Structure 1
Amino acid sequence: MTPITWRRAAVDDAPALSILGGATFLTSFAHDHPGKALTTHIRTAHGEAYYAAALADPAQTVLIGETPLGAAVGYAMITPPDLPIATDPARDVELKRIYLLHGWQGGGHGDAIMALVVEEAQRRGARRLLLAVYPQNDRARRFYARHGFGEIGALTFMVGDVPFRDLIYARTL
């Protein structure tokens, strides 16, 4: 399997993250999300402007994974918590997004990026790592369980104008 080199993304990575974010979201959810809502969501939540703003915000960290030739194949976004549960911004961080293109899933790449996410959360002084996950994404839920996450709540996640139920998971650091 092709190796991945992980690094902290910079503002000039916004175009690559937009393409990668849209591709991974589409690949992950096209099987059960309506096309128009999916397209609307990808255009806004994975647009280049979204990633440029996130990368310019010092409270957010995006880790990007690249092949030896510089092609972006995975990323993780760590943010202040923005979930409908009680949080402590001084002790909690949210893993807003974590994706790998299908061809790079398995082989330890997910474990590698999760280790970097935990390291970043601890560097920030966090005591708890939070995330939201789609209940029908069994592979992701198994991955999170293997990494010590457990369910603590639920939320409504909008994809375009279509509501979906997500689960909120937490892991003590």
Structure 2
Amino acid sequence: MTPILWRRAEARDAAALSLLGGATFLASFAHDHPGDALIAHVRKAHGEAFYAAALADPEQALLIGETALGAPVGYALLTPPALPVERRDGDLELKRIYLLSGWQGGGNGAALLKLAMEEARRRGAKRLLLAVYEANVGAQRFYARHGFVEIGETVFMVGDAPFRDLIFAAAVG
């Protein structure tokens, strides 16, 4: 497997993040999300304008992973928390963390999560929150192995279709 080169994303990465975000979201959820709603969601939530705005916002951080040839293969987005749980001072949300399927395994997910934790620590976070689809048992196990515990739930809407997400938290160590 080609190694992933990780770095902080920059304004010039908005188009690559849009393509990567859309591709990973489709690959992750096309099996049980309604097609038209899924496409509309990807266009809005993973459009280039979304990533350009996130990159311009100092309260958000994007990490991007690329091959040695510069092809994007993974990313993570940290934001101020917006999940419906009791918040604490020092909370930060890991809003998105994705790898293309060909780069999953072999420690790449753990490496990306570690980088996200390091970024959270640099930002003064004490606790990292995230939401994961209830049907994604593999991701839930991954987060549990890395110290995350379930603390709540929320509903994630894709068009008119509701999906139950579980909210997890871990101390930023």
| TM-score normalised per structure 1 | 0.97
Greater CA drift, 160-169 or 92-101: 160-169
Q: Which runs of 4+ in 1 moved over 6 A?
A: none
| CA offset digits 1:55-75 (Å, max 9, x no partner) | 000000000000000000000
Q: Which residue of 2 aligns with 1:147?
A: 146
CA–CA distance in structure 1, aligned partners of residues 170 and 8 of structure 2: 22
Deviation at residue 87 of structure 1 after TM alignment: 1.1
Local SS of the residue matching 2:76: strand
Deviation at residue 125 of structure 1 after TM alignment: 1.2
What is the RMSD computed on CA atoms of the aligned residues?
0.7
Deviation at residue 97 of structure 1 after TM alignment: 0.2
| TM-score normalised per structure 2 | 0.97
Q: Which residue of 2 aligns with 1:80?
A: 80
Q: Which residue of 1 aligns with 2:113?
A: 114
Q: Which runs of 5 or more residues in structure 1 are unaligned?
A: none
Q: Which residue of 1 aligns with 2:25?
A: 25
CA–CA distance in structure 2, aligned partners of residues 49 and 124 of structure 1: 24
| CA offset digits 1:31-64 (Å, max 9, x no partner) | 0101011001100000000000000000000000
Q: Which residue of 1 aligns with 2:13?
A: 13
Q: Percent of aligned positions with the same letter in both sequences?
A: 70
| CA offset digits 1:53-103 (Å, max 9, x no partner) | 000000000000000000000000011101111213x41000000000000
Deviation at residue 161 of structure 1 after TM alignment: 2.2
* Residues matched between the structures, number: 172
CA–CA distance in structure 2, aligned partners of residues 122 and 15 of structure 1: 27
Deviation at residue 138 of structure 1 after TM alignment: 1.3
